[in-house]
Structure 1
Amino acid sequence: MALLLRNFRLVGFGETGGVSEIAVGADGSIAAKADADARLVDCGGAWLSPGWADLHVHVWHGGTDISIRADEAGLKRGVTAMADAGSAGEATFHGLREYVIERQQETIKAFVNIGSIGLVACNRVPELIDERFIDVDRTLDVIEKNRDVVCGVKVRSSGVIVGAWGITPLQIGKRVAEIAGLPLMVHIGEPPPVLDQVLDLLSPGDVVTHCFNGKRGGSIADTKALFDQAKRLAEAGVRMDIGHGAASYSFTVAKESIRQGLKPFSISTDLHGHDIDGPVFDLATTASKLLAAGLSFEECVDGIAANPRAFLGLSAAPLAPGSRADFTVFDLADSDEEARDSQGNVLQLEKTFEPRFTILGAVATPAARAEREGSDG
Structure 2
Amino acid sequence: METEAILIRNVRPVGFTPGAAPAAATDILVGADGRIRSVGPALPPTPGARIVEGGGAYVSPGWTDLHAHVWHGGTDISIRPKLAGMQRGVTTIVDAGSAGEATFHGFREYIIEPADERILAFLNIGSIGLVACNRVSELIDIRSIDIDRTIAVVEANRDLIVGIKCRASHVILGSWGITPVKVAKKVAKILKLPMMIHVGEPPPTYDEVLELLRPGDIITHCFNGKAGGSIVEDEDLWDLVTKCADQGIRLDVGHGGASFSFKVAEIAIQRGLLPFSISTDLHDHSLNGPVWDMATTMSKLLSVGMPFEAVVTASTTAPMSAVKLATDDLLGIGKVAELTVFDLVDSDLSVRDSQGATAKLHKMFEPRWAVRGAQLVRASRHMPKEGTASVCTCGAHG
Do Structure 1 and Structure 2 share a fold, with TM-score over 0.5? yes
Q: Where in structure 2 are the equivalents of 1:141-180 lying within 5 Å? A: 141-180=152-191
TM-superposed CA distance for 1:6, in Å, is 1.2
Contact 2:12 2:25 in 1 (8 A): no
Q: CA-to-partner distance for each residue in 1:331-352, whole Å, 9 max, x for gaps? A: 1000111110001001111101
Does structure 2 retain, via aligned residues, the 8 Å contact 1:123–1:160?
Answer: no
Asked whether 1:8 is paired with 2:14, we answer: no
Distance 1:196 1:230 in 2: 8
| Structure 1 CA distance for aligned equivalents of residues 23 and 49 of structure 2 | 23
The match for 2:141 among 130, 136, 139 is 130
In 2, Cα distance between equivalents of 1:326 and 1:318 = 8
Residues in 2 aligned to 1:46 and 1:32: alpha-carbon distance in whole angstroms: 18
CA deviations on 1:64-108 (whole Å, 9 max, x unpaired) are 001000110001101000100000000001011111111111110
1:77 aligns with 2:88: yes
CA contact under 8 A between 1:328 and 1:357: conserved in structure 2? yes
Within the alignment, does 1:93 sit opposite 2:104 as a pair? Answer: yes
Aligned mates of 1:244, 1:254 — CA distance in 2: 11
| 1:8-27 C-alpha deviation (Å, 9 max, x unpaired) | 11110127986722111111
Task: Show the counterpart of 1:347.
Answer: 359
- The answer (yes or no) to whether the contact 1:242–1:264 under 8 Å persists in 2 is yes
Letter paired with 1:348: K
Deviation at 1:44, TM superposition (A): 1.4
Structure 1 partner of 2:26? 20
Runs of 4+ in 1 over 6 A off after TM superposition: none
- Is the 8 Å Cα contact of residues 13 and 23 (structure 2) preserved in structure 1? no
In structure 2, how many angstroms separate the alpha carbons of the residues matched to 1:37 and 1:347?
46
Question: What code does the residue aligned with 2:252 have?
Answer: D
* Offset of residue 289 of structure 1: 0.3
Structure 1 residue aligned with 2:348: 336
Contact 2:14–2:23 under 8 Å retained in 1: no
One-letter amino acid of the structure 2 residue matched with residue 233 of structure 1? C
Question: Following the alignment from structure 1 to structure 2, what is the Cα–Cα distance between the partners of residues 253 and 18?
Answer: 35
> Is residue 29–residue 321 contact of structure 1 (8 Å, CA) maintained in 2?
yes
| Distance across 1 between alignment mates of 2:183 and 2:367 | 40
Mapping of 1:246-285 within 5 angstroms? Answer: 246-285=257-296
Counterpart check, 1:312 vs 2:323: yes
1:213-228 pair list within 5 angstroms: 213-228=224-239
* Cα distance in 2 for residues equivalent to 1:192 and 1:234: 22
The Cα of 1:222 is off from its aligned counterpart by 2.6
Q: Give secondary structure in 1 for the equivalent of 2:348.
A: coil
What letter matches 2:305 in structure 1?
G
Q: Give the TM-score normalised by structure 2.
A: 0.92
Higher mean C-alpha deviation, range 307-316 or range 50-59 = 307-316
Match of 1:226, SS state, is helix
Match of 1:106 among 110, 114, 117: 117
1:115 equivalent to 2:139? Answer: no
Alignment of 1:295-310 (within 5 A): 295-310=306-321
Deviation at 1:32, TM superposition (A): 3.8
Give the deviation of 1:115 after TM superposition.
Answer: 0.3
Q: Please list every run of 5 or more consecutive structure 1 residues that lacks an aligned counterpart in the other structure.
A: none
Count of residue pairs the alignment pairs up: 377
- Structure 2 unmatched runs, 5+: 391-398
Tell me the SS of whatever aligns to 1:182: coil
3-state DSSP of counterpart to 1:230: helix
Same amino acid, percent of matched pairs: 56
Structure 2 CA distance for aligned equivalents of residues 310 and 43 of structure 1? 27
Which residue in 1 is equivalent to 2:336? 324
2-side partners of 1:158 and 1:239: how far apart?
19
CA distance in 2, matches of 1:153, 1:332: 35
Q: Deviations over 1:294-341 (max 9, x none)?
A: 100001001111111222333334211111111000110001111100
Contact 1:82 1:109 survives alignment (8 Å):
yes
1:48 aligned onto 2:59: yes
Query: Does structure 1 retain, via aligned residues, the 8 Å contact 2:6–2:31?
Result: yes
1:89-132 Cα shifts (integer Å, max 9, x gaps):
00001011111111111110000000000000013100001000
Native 8 Å contact 1:123 1:161 kept in 2: no
The offset of 1:54, in angstroms, is 0.2
Contact 2:6-2:52 within 8 A present in 1 as well = yes
- Could you tell me how far 1:36 is from its partner in structure 2? 4.0
Q: How far apart are the structure 2 equivalents of 1:206 and 1:301?
A: 21
Q: Which amino acid aligns with 2:16?
A: F
Cα distance in 2, alignment partners of residues 208 and 56 from structure 1: 11
Q: Give the deviation of 1:373 after TM superposition.
A: 5.0
Instruction: Write the distance in 2 (CA, Å) between the matches of 1:71 and 1:214.
Output: 29
What is the rounded CA distance, in whole Å, between the counterparts of 1:188 and 1:289 in structure 2?
21
With structure 1 as the length reference, what TM-score do the two structures score?
0.97
Question: Does the Cα contact within 8 Å between 2:342 and 2:365 map onto a contact in 1?
Answer: yes
**Corresponding position of 1:371:** 383
CA gap of 1:347–1:236, structure 2 versus 1, over 3 A, is same
C-alpha distance 373-62 of structure 1, shift in aligned 2 (>3 A): closer
